[in-house]
Structure 1
């Protein structure tokens, strides 16, 4: 009897969140992005978005500048304060240069003035999706390296810090008050546990962990 075929669960499609109190704009954008095979969720206020949206999804946010109860720019800052880094594309019928500069400095992908061309919003969303994908890859890499670092003993972490600062084994031995043979042993354990192919690879991984392992600026 043949074994049942194993199926792999497909990841969900990227999602485009739309927050705009203009119902005709919400409907038009929803139709556009669904025709491009994106998942779409549309909301008429920032409060509704926060209440119902899954902010862990891979996607981006199309955000109107003028919303009931708050401005899109203030909402951008609110999301930043709670640690949400979903890429934002602003839409407005009343944009001006200072407003767009403020939005872009705060990390917006684009600032589009209504009415905009379909291709302009499609290009902006493509850029936003790539930014979000890149951020997620970086986050996953950081988590993987942090997991490797958790295997290190306190002494191995000290040796790792010294290695990425560019110290030789003899210098590390003197700094830590241990023998050079012991340094070599710890160093080998660090390279193995961190799955580092070279000192340069170890430095790169140390930088992902945090500032405490960064080589000093000369």
Structure 2
């Protein structure tokens, strides 16, 4: 009876110890799953990280502006071709031939400027990714040994962050900027062509822009 009592007491202690260890592991896992505090970073600091590759940024910006201006010029060429069909046959044939040659030249220019744009921003993005990963890896190595005992700082988590954070930064700084510059070139060229053709109608269109934008914003807010 004595030994059985001691055995049952030992089992109960082991069970309680096991449950307490299990609860502590669960609590630690729950704490690890809690979102970590994030620090806001300014856009100025983000764009300053591509400073060493500014020459590629300048060349890529020129290429993006040129690529964005091709679409309005293409629309202008199509319009001129349609207008040419309402002229006499000789004039129509001459105008269509001229516009076809311009389209062929535009296709060659389009290939060149798009290649320059993607080549320049591609190099800048890859170098930014490499630079960020090197900075993150060096910062990881400067931490104490106990820092790696945290569930958020395991080798798999750190490797995942090295891969995803640098790619996300490239998307924000390089890829989004490429689209923005492309659209700026498109809008500027469109307005230049519009003002040259008929500045009065262009001013009327610009005056209606706030109404169009407010309508889109109201529709988006109503949908959400």
Calculate the TM-score normalised by the size of structure 2: 0.23
Larger Rg: 2
Larger strand fraction of residues = 1
